[in-house]
Amino acid sequence: MGLRERLAGRRVLVTGVTGFVGEALLERLLSDFPDTAVVALVRPRGSHSGAARLARMMRKPAFRGLREGLGAAGVAALLAERVEVIEGDLASMPDLPADLDVVIHCAGEVSFDPPVDEAFTTNVGGVAELLRALAAGGARPHLVHVSTAYVAGLRSGHIAEGPLAHDVDWRVEWDAASRVRQQTEDASRAPECSARFRAQASRRFAAAGAQTVSAEAERLRRAWVARRMVTAGGERAQVLGWTDAYTFTKALGERYLEDHHGDLPLTVVRPSIIESALRRPFPGWIEGFKMAEPLILAYGRGELPDFPASPDAVVDIIPVDLVVNAILAAAAVVPPADTPAYYTVCSGFRNPLLFRDLYAYVRDYFQADPLPRRGRGTFAVPEWPFAGAAAVEAKLRRSERLVGLAGRALEHAPPSDRVRRFAGELERAESRVGFLRRYSDVYRAYTKAELVYVDDATGALHAAMDPADQAEFGFDPACFDWRHYLQDVHCPAVTAVLRRPRDPAPPRRLSGRLAAGDGVLAVFDLDGAVASATVIESYLWMRLADASAPRRVRELASLAVALPRYVRAERRDRGHLMRSVYARYAGVDPAELERLVVEVAGDILLRRVKPAGIRRVREHRAAGHRTVLLTGAVEVLTRPFAPLFDDVVAARLEVGADGLLTGRLESSPLVGDARAAFIDHHARVLGADLGVSWAYADSQSDLPLLRAVGNPVAVNPDLALHQVARGAGWPIEEWASAAGEPRLVVGDRRERGLRAAAARAGAAALSSRPGPGTGPAGVVVSGGGR
C-alpha cells in the first residue's frame, strides 16, 4: 500500500503550521494527499483570526503551485473543503476533536538562545498542553512529535536512534527555571542594579529629562533580565550535557512525552539542521533564515574572517522536503503504544558533509559569483585559516574593544555631518561584531560536539516504502550531491534577495505635499530646525554688538572660562545651561535688547535661517496646520519669525523693580519632558490631535517632544538623536543655513547699518502682531499672523 493510501481518510492535526516545517508539510498534504483531511492549530494574531492567517498563507511562495493549478477561488474552495482551523496556541488549546487519527506536533521554541523559562513553557509545557487537550476531547491519535537530532547533547561519536540516556528530572528543571525568572526579576530591582541602570540611562539621555531617563533605565533593566535568563538557560544546559536551552528543553519535552503519552502511539522524528528544499515545493524554497544562512551571507559579504570549527567535523544538514517526506512516512506507520518509534532524519551518516568541504563549496560559489556591493563593485570573500576557537575568540574580543573605544570617543564629538556618517559606520561595525559574538557563542558548543547521527531506523523506513513512493516521497540523504545542492540550489536561494535589482530606497527625507487637515500641530524648535543659533551665540550677538574692544575681550574671556561648564550642562541639563547663560543678562535694559534685535541680532539670526525649514513651515501653513515655534530662546529673539507662526512659545526674562533685567527667568524653561507636557496641554486647549501632528527638532533633549507626536522629524540631529531616529525609522533631514553665516564679532558701523536695514524689514511686521497669549509664567505664547 502506498503512502497516499495509508493516509487516505485520516484526519491529521498539524501544530506549528505557520512555521518552516509546518508550512512545507501543509503544502505537501494539500497538493499530494487529496483524501486526507487537515486540522490546523493556528494562533490568532492581532485582528486576524486563525482562519484568516491560514488563508493569507496561501499567498506565500510555497503554495505557488497550488495557486497556478487551482486559481485563487480554487485554493479558497480547497481550504473550505479539506482544512479545519482550530484557534489556539501551545499555552492554551481548546479541547481537540475526538476523531483525530494523527497529530503531527511541529510547533515549539526554535531559537537557539531563548530565555530558559520561555523555552520550558513552549517545549515542555507545549507538549503537556497538547496531551491535555487530546485527553479532554477524547481523541486517541498517533502522535508524531518533531524534535531535533541535537537532543543527543554534548557527546562525540556515533549517536543511535532511540530514547535518550539521561536521568534529568524535567519537573525539577522546569520548576527551577520558573524560580530563576523570579530571582532575576528581584535582582534587577536591587538598589545597586537600579542605580547602574539609571546611571547608564542618564549618561545617554540626561538632557532629555527625567521621564526619558526613567523609561530608558527600565528598558535597560528588562534587557538585563532577558540576557540573564538566556545565560541561565545556556549555562544550565551545558552543565547537564546539552549545547543550549533549545536542545535541553527539547530533550526534556521528549522525556515528558515518554512519561505521559499513555496509550497513544508515539513517534519521535529528529531532524538535524533543516535547510532549503531540494525539490518541493520548489528547489531552494526556504522561509526565513535558519542556522546556516546568516553565516553564509556574512561570509559572502566578507564579514566572517574565520569560524571556530574543526575542518574535518561533520556538518549535518538536511533539506526540508526530505524532512517532510520522512514525517509523512513515519505518520503512516503506527508503532505499538508501549514502544515509541524514533527516527533521525540526517545526512551525516550516509552522505557526510565535512566543514572544510562546506567552506570550499561556498567559497567557490562566491568567488565565481560574488555578491554585489552597492555602488562599489562586489564583495571579496576571505580565506579561512581554521585557526581554532581560541584564535577566533581573541580576534573577536579585540574587535569588541575597538568598537567600544570608538563609541566612547564618539560620545564627546560635536554634531556634524561627518560625525553622523562616522556614527552610521560605527553602528554597522557594532552590528557586525554583535552578529559575530552571538553566532560564535551559539555555535561554539555545537562545534565541540563532534557527532555522527546514525539513521538505521530511518533508512529501514525508507527501504520499506513502495518504489514509486521512494521516488516521489523519498528521504534518502544519499540521493543528492553536496556541490550541486550548495552551489546550484541553496546558495542561490539564500542570496537571491541581495542580488535582485533594488528599487531606489525610499527617501529618508520628506517630500511631497502635506495632507491638509484641521487639528494638526506643526511644532518647530528654533535652534537647529529653523535657524542655526544657540543661547550662547545669541547672547554674544547682543552683548558684543556695541561693546568696545576691551569689553569684548573681557566678555569673551569670561565666556571661555565658563564654556566647559556650559558644555557639561548642555549634555546633562539644558535648563541649567539656559539659566546660567541668561544670568549674564543681569542689569541689562530690556529696551536696549529690543534695539539690538532690530539693529543687529535680528539680522544675524535671519541670515542664519534655514531656507528648507522656512519652506517647511509654509507648507504646513498651506495645509491648514497650526504652526508652533517652541524654543528656549528669549522672546525678543523670536520676533523676526513671529509672522510665520500661529503660536510662539519662548522664554521670558524677569524685569526687576529698577526696570532692568534680573538675569532670572520668570519660570522654569521648557526643556526635555516639560516640552512634551506643554505641547500635550496646548493640543488639548486647541482641540488638536498629537497623533497626526508634527515636530521638528535637532537635539536629544527634544526626544520627549518628538515622541509625543505621530510624525517626528530629526533635523540636523546630534549623535544621540540621530541614533534614536535611525532605530525608530524617523525621517532625518539635513537643512543647511542660508549662505554666508555671519561672524560673531560685529564689524564697522557702515556694515552694521546695512544689516540693520534688512532686519528692520522683518521687524516691521511685528507692529501688527497680536500680543502675547496665555501661557505658563515666564513663557510667552504669542499669536502670529497668517
| DSSP track, 478-526 | GGS-HHHIIIIIIHHHHHHHHHSPPPPPPPSS--SPPPP-SS-EEEEET
DSSP E strands in 547-643: the ranges are: 626-634
**Apex CA 419: angle with CA 417 and CA 423, to 5°?**
115
Residues 6+ apart with CB under 8 A from 204: 216, 700, 720
Residues 6+ apart with CB under 8 A from 153: 164, 166, 241, 242, 243, 247, 251, 449
Task: Extract the C-alpha cell encoding 243.
Answer: 549545547
Distance CA 166, CA 706 (A): 56
Task: Extract the C-alpha cell encoding 112.
Answer: 537557539
pLDDT number for residue 406: 75
Q: What is the DSSP string of 681-697?
A: HHHHHHT--GGG-EEEE
Distances (CA, A) of 262 to 100, 132, 335: 16, 12, 13
Q: Rounded to 5 degrees, what are φ and ψ at 159?
A: -115, 115
Q: Are 139 and 97 in contact (CB under 8 A)?
A: yes
Q: Tell me which residue has cell 521648557.
A: 670
Q: Are 593 and 542 in contact (CB under 8 A)?
A: yes
Query: Which helix H or strand E contains 712, and what residues bound it?
Result: strand 711-715
* Residue 711, strand partner residues: 694
Nearest alpha-carbon partner for 521 in 618, 649, 628? 628
Distance CA 720, CA 228 (A): 27
Instruction: Count other C-beta atoms under 10 Å from residue 412's C-beta.
Output: 9
* Mean pLDDT, the chain cut into blocks of 10 residues (786 residues total): 93 95 97 96 91 94 94 94 94 93 92 89 95 95 97 90 95 95 96 94 84 93 95 93 93 96 96 95 87 84 82 92 98 95 96 93 95 84 82 77 75 66 72 72 68 94 96 95 96 87 51 76 85 58 54 55 54 64 74 70 66 89 92 77 86 85 78 88 94 91 92 88 87 75 37 36 33 40 50
Please confirm whether the linkage preceding 281 is cis (ω < 30° from 0). Answer: yes
Check: pTM over 0.85? Answer yes or no.
no
Burial class (CB in 10 A: 0-12, 13-18, 19+), 507: exposed
Distance CA 24, CA 19 (A): 8
Instruction: Count other C-beta atoms under 10 Å from residue 518's C-beta.
Output: 10
Residues 6+ apart with CB under 8 A from 95: 133, 136, 137
pLDDT number for residue 480: 94
Q: Are 43 and 49 in contact (CB under 8 A)?
A: no
Distance CA 16, CA 43 (A): 9
The string over 594-622, giving b where at least 16 C-beta atoms fall within 10 Å of a residue's C-beta and e elsewhere, is ebbbbbbbbbbbbbbbbebbbebbebbbe
Residue 735 half-sphere exposure toward CB, CA atoms < 13 A: 29
**Apex CA 187: angle with CA 181 and CA 191, to 5°?**
155
The one-letter code for the residue type at 116 is V
Q: Tell me which residue has cell 530606497.
A: 505
Instruction: Count other C-beta atoms under 10 Å from residue 491's C-beta.
Output: 23
Task: Extract the C-alpha cell encoding 571.
Answer: 549634555
Instruction: Count other C-beta atoms under 10 Å from residue 17's C-beta.
Output: 27
The string over 317-348, giving b where at least 16 C-beta atoms fall within 10 Å of a residue's C-beta and e elsewhere, is bbbbbbbbbbbbbbbbbbeeeeebbbbbbbbb
Q: Rounded to 5 degrees, what are φ and ψ at 19?
A: -90, 180
Q: How far is CA 172 from the centre of its chain?
A: 35
Q: Are 458 and 477 in contact (CB under 8 A)?
A: no
Helix axes 20-32, 64-82, angle to 10 degrees: 80
